[in-house]
Structure 1
Amino acid sequence: MSPLIKKIFRTCGYAIWKIKKSRFKIGRIQYEVDPCSVGKTPQGELTARGAINMIKERQLHDLKILDICCGVGIVGLTIFSELRLDAIVKEAVFADINIFNLNSLHKTIRINNFESLLGDQVRSYLSDGLNHIPQNEKFDLIVSNPPHYFVKDHIKKNKPLSPSRLGTFDAGWDFHKSFYNLCHRYLTKRGEVWFLENSSAADEKDFLPFIEANAQLKYVGKVEELLDSGFFWMVTRKS
């Protein structure tokens, strides 16, 4: 970066050229994350561990999973790395609206020697919800700790809209509405949706109308997350 650009950034109160990528390890995966990425919260590992427990309890196998709103990929990569060798999970697909998240995901895939699996067992999509995922993709399990704080309008909130804020709040429940309106198209015959919701931010009744509005979905029920009582799973399947 040129001295002039550095001076401009200093004047603006930034030191972007000094920001370093961060590395951390969860389970078997070493993550390499850029500063503009979001989704580096403990809920990622909690979601993955809870999902792994439910997969094992139900003795599911040969799963193709979608980690939607994947952030830097903690949920999907944890599940995939721990269950793929037993043929429980055969494919892991990732989707997020944030290009910085997917850039970090691909760096993580590279440093963990998963590059040979790209395009076959591991794929990613830059997508606003399900809207830009090809409809020939069908999943046995869609899992997520989705945006779970309600806000009517980000602009009216009159606070700076950072990537982390955008990833936490679901304005008008638009993500949930759109997801449950479309998700049946992406589920196999046995396909299910497992969303880990935050009980301090929302309740089961907030999302049930969106599920019930889709005649091709069946709500299975609410499952308490034993690893953290502040969270609960909403389980939905294709009807």
Structure 2
Amino acid sequence: MLIAIINQSKLVSNADAAAMTQAIATQVRMDVAPLWDRAAAAVIFYANAKDVPPAAHGIALVDTIQDQPAGVLGYHTEDRGGKLWGVVAAKPELDNGGTATKGDWSVSSVLSHEVLEMFIDPNCNLWANDGRGKAYSFEVCDPVEAPTYAVDGVSVSNFVTPAWFDPLSNQATAQYDKLGKLHAPFSILKGGYVVFEAAGAEHQKFGDEFPDWRKEMKAGKFARTRRRLEQTDAMFAQATA
């Protein structure tokens, strides 16, 4: 899997975009792929979109995302041909005190978030049953959006491991997220959130410290959260048909 990063933002320099990409490529190779027991995806920055290989999936850095609520920071989706593509907006982060490459609410952490979720659940269609009547979406960064951690001095997103989705995991020994801050499956940090289905209805749960301004990013017409909520409606309709 090749994920191409393209910078179309006037607020983020090519140098910063390249540094983000390199840090995320290292994160995928050294952290995510081993914990998920997968072959690593290649994450490469292209200064010129014309140089992106035809088979690559892509994520573009922009200032704002057209036809989306003002707070939407990023999303990725899939076209009818199976090609994955995504967008990360820099301006909402920067307008709310974030920076390009440092801190919990950085542009680089959002880019990392989108890359990791594209890598783990590219088609945005995996769910995990908790054995207690709930099904949780396979969003590996959502439950632990903050705090982030640094790779080569660049802020990247924390992420959950396969054990997080396993209700039978051993809580005494399992690692539930990269930073080791969670201690049970299906739990969230104060800066995280989850989407789940229960009793035929969709639900969102936000941590106590999840910023209000970031909640808008989940409502865009292409946002993964909105797609997940639509999936829960479809699943319930099929179950009751």
TM bucket by the smaller chain?
under 0.3
Task: Tell me the TM-score normalised to structure 1 length.
Answer: 0.27
More strand as a share of residues: 1
- The structure whose Rg is larger is 1
